[in-house]
Structure formats: C-alpha cells, structure tokens
A = this chain, B = another copy of it.
Amino acid sequence: MISAALADGTADRPCVFEVFARRLPAGRRYGVVGGTGRLLDRLADFRFTEEEVAVVADSLDERTIRWLRDFRFTGDIDGYREGELYFPGSPVLSVRGGFAECVVLETLVLSVFNHDSAIAAAAARMSSAARGRRIIEMGSRRTHEEAAVAAARASYLAGFHSTSNVEATRRHGVPSAGTSAHAFTLLHTGPDGPDEAAAFRSQVATLGVGTTLLVDTYDITSGVATAVEVAGPELGGVRIDSGDLGVLARQVRDQLDALGAQRTKIVVSGDLDEYAIAALRAEPVDVYGVGTRLVTGSGASTAGMVYKLVEVDGIPVAKRSTHKETLPGAKRAVRYHRASGTAVEEVLFPVSGSAPDDPSLEQRELMIPMLRDGEPVPDLPSLEQSRDHHAAVMVSLPWEGLALSAGDPAIPVRTVAPHGIPS
C-alpha cells in the first residue's frame, strides 16, 4: 500500500484514522480504554532498523525502502484518556497525518489497544465485583510473556492492587506482591515424607510472620494449624488455592479466630473471575488472587477495535459494504452527565461542529491532545493519574451499568450527523 501510494502521489494526502469498537463483547455494558500510555511510549521510538528493512527490501522499490528507513511519525494524535470508559463507536483514538505515515501505525495501535483494553475491561468488572477488597494479579503464566507485563499494567489501571509480575514493577511501577507456590512446600519432603512445617518455618524465617503461607498442599485444616503453630497468631495471611473457596474461607476464618489469629488475612485464588469474586462477597475473604480469567479478558480476550480511515483531504469517507459501515468524517466526543455525576449519553459530532447544548446536563470533553507533529504534548497522564481517572469514571456509570449480567451498553452513543452526511 505504501509503495503504491508513494508511486501514485497519494502517500502524503492528509488523512484522519479513528480507532473504535463497533460493539462491546457480548453482554458487556462498558469498555475501558487501556494501552494509551504504553502506545505513546512505543511510538516515541517507532522506527525501522536496517535489519528490519532488509526483510522486505527484496519486494520493494528503492523509493519505498528509503521511506521506511526515514520513517518517523510526524502527525497528531488525540484520544480518550487511558482508563476512560467507551461504548460502541466511541472514537477512542484519532490519528491525523499523511496516509502512509498513519497506515503504518495501524497494527501497533490496534495490538496495544485490543489487548490492553480487553484486560482493563475484565479487570474493571472484577474490581467492581470485589467492592474494595484487594485483588492481586497472578496471571503471567497463562499468557504470552510480554502480554503478561501489559496485562499486569492494565489490571492496575483498572483497580487491581498489585501484581506478581515483577517486570511490570520495573517497567511501569505497578506494586508487586505474591505468595509461595505448592512446589516450595513439596520441596520440603524427605525420606520420612512431607514436612509442611519445615517449609513454613523456612518461609517465616526469611520473610517474617507477616508473610502469607499456602495452606492447601496437603490438608487445609492441618495446614492452618501448622501455619499458626509455626508463625504464631501474628501470621500475615494464609492462601487457599483449591476446593470450594466459600466454604473453606469460612472454616479457615473460624479456625484462625479460634487459634487467636483474628488478624490473619485469607487470600483465595484458583480460576477466579468477576462472577466467582461476586459470589464470595458474603464470605470472610480479604484478598483475591486472579490469574487465568484476567489475562484472557474473562471471555473476551480482544477488544475488537478497528482503525478506520474516516477522512481524506477534508472529505469524509467510509466503507459501504454490508454490516461493516463506519461513520464517515473526523469526530469529537462529549459525554453528558447529570449534576449528580451520573453519565447519561455520549455524543459524537463533526470536529468542525459543536456539541448540542443541553443546559440541564454537564458536558465533558472526552478527547485530549496526545501528540503534536509527532511529539508528545506536555503533562500526559501518568499510569497513577489514569488509574485515578478510571476510578472516578466508574462512579459515573448508571447503577445498572455495573451489573455483571449480560445487558446493553450502559449509556447510548448518539451521532450528530455532519452537514450532508446522514448519521
């Protein structure tokens, strides 16, 4: 495409591409923008090395090879803040520049957004179901090793408390946390058989009584008794990773209390998702460890976002084939809120126009500038700020928007047609 556009003179035509999801995953009531910060970091050094150009050099003409060598994105990007909610059609990112420089970003932009937004949405549902109890992200082993780091970041964005992925701490500053594995307990096996107490003593000797001991390697009741015997009643926590977690949490709580370990926390893990977390609300659980279901997006492992050309040289354009229509023309987006803060509607309108006025509602502009002439604008939100923003916008959802059951998008998205183009 780039070769042909360079040859026919269209490579530098001013274009606007928008990123949006045509629909939310089945039954989901909101999406969460994830990946913006990570994308902007990656764009800062998005170039093609000589070695990379060499791979395609055989099939390309000299002009295209030169273009790839010199490539650097010099356009503008605006978008929804990371952590913001989105709905079907919300233009979460708007990329403006020459055709060729914009089209070459498509795969990176969509990969980052489709992955990170899918994880952020799952994390938001889980965080909301946990109602303030802490969630530790523990899913690294169930997804690609690099996706794991991004998943830890996206889950923190959407309310998780910490991650077992230390690389996410190094790269993104996500707080790290973790417990021990069954292998550590099993390691303490001798000719006379298992020695759970030896494993617990070793862990407590190294990490102190504030550590969390994994009590379900053999028998949970003995495991809890041994844990308190070894660490004393000031033991930080016990983790249960198998069995009927609700029943076990209650039994273990009673046992801990009877042993005087009233402040020892109960951590549960094992294929938890938002529904399992919600089902444990009435049980004495302090911390959830969530893995597989987080990194797989809890049933929706991609956000289904697309990157579509919506405007060429000021002319709105759109694909017209069956079932895949896009709204032509560059758009802006505002969300209307009641005085109480509750969101009621999102409105998309042409960048040249203005948002319809409704004095009874507060208007919030959804897109912020991110790149100008290829350079990041000052004071882009940090991950912590995006996390705070996410927490704030979750509160603005109408109450039914927080339901875990399948339903419609929490608020409608209305498009105000540009002059002459039907909506």
Contact = CB atoms under 8 A, between A and B. Distances in A.
A321 B189 contact: no
A209 interface: no
A187 B99 contact: yes
Interface string A182-202: 111011111100100010011
Given A111-B140, A187-B13, A202 B321 contact: no
A358 interface: no
A128 interface: no
Contacts of A187: 5, 10, 13, 15, 99, 309, 312
Interface string A4-33: 110110100101010000000000000000
Interface in A275-321: 292, 295-297, 301-302, 304, 307-309, 312, 315, 317-321
B312 A186 contact: yes
Given A145-B108, A242-B322, A186 B8 contact: no
Given A1-B181, A166-B56, A202-B8, A114 B142 contact: yes
Nearest to A300: B296
A203 B1 CA distance: 7
A415 B318 CA distance: 59
Contacts of A108: 145
A226 interface: no
A182 B103 CA distance: 11
Interface string A359-381: 00000000000000000000000
Interface stretch (A78-86, A213-221, A389-397, A401-409): A213-221
Consensus secondary structure, chain A interface:
helix
Interface residues of A, number: 88
Interface stretch (A129-137, A146-154, A348-356): A146-154
The CB with the most chain B CB atoms within 10 A, among A141, A143, A220, is that of A141
Contacts of A265: none
A345 interface: no
Contact of A4 (B166, B184, B317): B184
A317 B194 contact: yes
A292 B302 contact: yes
A296 B301 contact: yes
A103 B170 CA distance: 21
A323 B216 CA distance: 11
Contacts of A198: 8
Contact of A321 (B191, B205, B217): B217
Interface string A52-64: 1001100001000
The 7 closest A-B pairs by CB, nearest first: A146-B146, A110-B141, A144-B147, A111-B145, A4-B206, A183-B309, A115-B144
